[in-house]
Amino acid sequence: MANTSPLQPGDEIELEITNIAHGGVSVARHDGRVVFVADAIPGERVRARVTEARKKSFARAVTLEVLEASPDRRPHVWPEAALERDPEERAGGAEFGHIALERQRALKAQVLAESLQRFAGVERDVTVEAAPGDDEANGLGWRSRVRLHVDPETGAVGPYAARSRTIVPVESLPLAVEGVNMIAPLDEPMHHLVSIDLIAPSADDPRMLITAEEDVARAGENDAVRELVGDREFLVRAGGFWQVHREAPEVLFTAVRDAVIALDEAGRVDAGAANLDLFGGAGLLAAAMAEAVGPALKVTTVEADPGATDDAAENLSELVGALAVTARVDRYLADLLAAPAAVRDRFRRSTVVLDPPRSGAGGAVSQQLGELAPANIIYVACDPVALARDTATLLGLGYELGPVRAFDLFPHTHHLEALAVFTRV
């Protein structure tokens, strides 16, 4: 019979790592209880310290020592996050930095496939595609935006420790692009500040956005910066949303464009319909839709942030049929569903692209989309579980899941980006 004595924070235990879980942690069992373990790799045996044991069914732990290493274990790409440091002093943001890139992608593909199967009942093998240049750079030098925090007592600057709010001073930012590293004040005390955002736009000078103790807004966050996607220029607020990986805007632009082209070749796209770009940001994916079907495209991009909507209006100004609307997506869709039937019917021929936040579109928005019944939905997701849950909703509303692609746009972390195409049956 298994020992059912509860684990306590601080306990040190040996564990056989058997699987990967969503969130960048591995899975083990101890006396019948699931233990989620940080800084390990499936197939390893480790000595770990329990950090949380609030429920009898599972606990959380962090690796202290690797007793039997995976062949995919590598020296951590960020010394300040390495196993040799005390877990409370390991920098966060590179939780897969001890794993070979190829294995990282395999683990991410596994999480996505298992999420689709568990939450949506869909069996789908997915390959996580590398972004251009990442293999050659060992997955380093890709972050064009980094947030650092300031210790209120010492003024020291650094990221948070993994899974905590402890600020860890660091000497390097290996995941960041050169422009970010050039301006990072890693060895300077920055008293009276709360945080520092470092951004390096692809077609503009790097800059810092500073939040002082007494401020709500970040200084410089509304400045316009220029980003290049292929030969297309986008204006974006410095503090607004833009993809973090230096290659991500072009990767996703191309993926959405190609998905629309494939739907168009199948006779499913109507350029003159009431096409939508939801959670549209600065208009990147609406522009991809236009490149796929031409300047006659009619598309409304919907975004809750007024600054981003202004940027989208500017970036899509060459498209006569483009409209940028400031609204919460759920409220915008609710208004459409309350409109006369003749208005709603225009959306049955439409293609909808959506790129929601990490929490996903959610059941409410997915339900609204099902009721609106567009011909096609192209869903860009940065969380596999959120995508899987929304997939289950859409499948139940009469949609069929088509191609699914995944992209490794966050090397050395557990995050990935995915694109799923849904068509109304």
Could you give the strand order of the β-sheet that contains 275-278, starting from the edge strand earlier in sequence?
Answer: 128-130, 399-408, 417-424, 376-381, 351-354, 275-278, 299-303, 322-326
Distance CA 251, CA 288 (A): 11
* CATH number corresponding to 106-135+245-424: 3.40.50.150
13 in catalytic set: no
Burial of 121 (0-12, 13-18, 19+ CB in 10 A): exposed
- Neighbouring CB atoms inside 10 A of 214's CB total 7
Could you tell me which residues are annotated as the binding site for S-adenosyl-L-methionine?
243, 279, 303, 355
The reported pLDDT for the residue numbered 5 is 66
Let me know: does 394 contact 377? Beta carbons within 8 Å: yes
Sequence ranges of the chain with CATH classification 3.40.50.150: 106-135+245-424
CATH architecture of 12-73: Beta Barrel (2.40)
The reported pLDDT for the residue numbered 57 is 81
The reported pLDDT for the residue numbered 1 is 40
Could you tell me which residues are annotated as the binding site?
243, 279, 303, 355
The reported pLDDT for the residue numbered 6 is 79
Q: CB under 8 Å to 394, separation ≥6 — which residues?
A: 366, 369, 370, 377, 401, 422
- In one-letter notation, the amino acid at residue 50 is V
> From the DSSP assignment, how many helices (H) and strands (E) are in the chain?
9, 20
Tokens of 201: 């736009």
Catalytic residue among 146, 382, 388, 418: 382
- For the chain (425 residues), the mean pLDDT of every run of 10, in chain order, is 71 98 96 95 98 85 98 98 95 97 98 98 96 98 97 94 92 97 94 95 96 82 95 95 97 98 98 97 98 96 96 96 97 96 91 95 94 97 97 97 98 98 97
How far apart, in Å, are the Cα atoms of 229 and each of 4, 234, 251, 261, 295? 56, 8, 9, 19, 18
Contacts of residues 369-373 at CB distance under 8 Å and 24 or more positions apart, as own/partner, are 369/333, 369/394, 369/397, 370/394, 370/396, 370/397, 370/398, 370/399, 371/337, 371/397, 372/333, 372/336, 372/337, 372/344, 372/347, 373/347, 373/348, 373/398, 373/424
What SS3 class is residue 337?
A: helix
CA-based max dimension of the chain: 72
For residue range 32-89, list pLDDT tens digits in order. Answer: 899 999 999 999 999 999 999 976 789 999 999 999 999 999 999 999 999 999 999 9
